[in-house]
Amino acid sequence: MSQGQIDVYRDWLKIADTNRPLNYYQLLRLRLFEDDVHRIREHYQKLAAHVRNNYLSGPHAARARELLDELARAMFCLTDRQRKREYDAALGRADIKEAPTRDFAQILLFNKVLAPEQLEKAKRFAEMVGLDLRDAILQQKLAPVEQVMLAYAEAQGMPYVELSDVTIDESLIPLVPAKLARQYSFVPLFEDGDQIIVAAANPLIPDVEEELRLRLGKTIRVVLCRPASINEAIAKYYPRDLPYQPIAREQKGAGPSTQQAVKEQQAPTVVERPPAGTDLVRQSALYAVIAFNLAVMLSVLVQIIINPQSQYQFGRTALIAIVIGAIAATITLVVSLQRRP
């Protein structure tokens, strides 16, 4: 049987329904209007693993990759709180209700990602060094990264994805300024109808979403993923030290803002030089703040490692950390200002 004759939904996913196109619930083999985020993800993971393990390396690899992306699109929609409401309404759901939500800490405990004492430890550490709770947990390695990020995504009402499970549409890369992608830690993934899916470690601020919408001419939807995966993708697609050669892309119906984005990315590469004057002072101050925060965090960690009781001696531990942070910030500021031309 040739590749063109394969019905991947029937033959690979064992979906008996012959009506096409399938809705997302049928595609993921879920009951209509399923609301359990964990069940939705579980079905997606099983189906994606089945396709990946049995067909991705065979003669129908290209079709398998397309199906994996299709499954991911379905999961993205049904695990995004806002998109799911809109999608269910379009399918005729009449009893759309606001589902009860838990905050991040409650989800961590409910899903048994952390024990109560671990959560309290993370909260103390987060408050001491000025981190949010999620990053404090990740830095202390109190739980597997994927479990923490899944709980965080559920609390935000957003989808979560492993970047290795989806295909990045490289034609979108030159449409997003490298500086913007690096500054806010995100990469565009692919188009999904009138939307563009963007992967990030954190929800994007509204101003960035609006700028992307104006540039790309489509609604922006964000999915969360591991911070390390985003850093790797940015290093690959938006490197600091190499000029990026934009990929030619013909965009049907592209508006002026989208065409302008392409022109900006196709402009000659400009070598970045150290800033002067006010810009240098501002940048030096930023480096000093970063140095202060890093020094404080490292100091607290070292104190806890050397003397575990120090985590209960908040005043003394914090004072030592602040002094060390101030020294590091001062040294960084002086060294950075010496770059003045």
Predicted pLDDT at 247: 40
Pairwise CA distance, residues 36 & 111, whole Å? 13
Say if CB 322 and CB 314 are below 8 A apart. no
The tens digit of pLDDT for each residue in 58-67 reads 899 999 999 9
Predicted pLDDT at 282: 62
Per-residue tokens: 46 = 């099983």
pTM for the structure as a whole: 0.68
pLDDT above 80: residue 335: no
The tens digit of pLDDT for each residue in 274-314 reads 444 444 566 667 777 787 888 878 877 877 788 777 666 66
Say if CB 295 and CB 289 are below 8 A apart. no
Predicted pLDDT at 97: 73
Looking at the DSSP bridge assignments, the partners of residue 240 are none
Distance from CA of residue 285 to its chain's centroid?
28
Q: Which residue has the higher pLDDT, 209 or 272?
A: 209
H-state helical runs in 111-247: 116-129, 133-140, 145-156, 178-184, 206-216, 227-237
Per-residue tokens: 187 = 């990469």
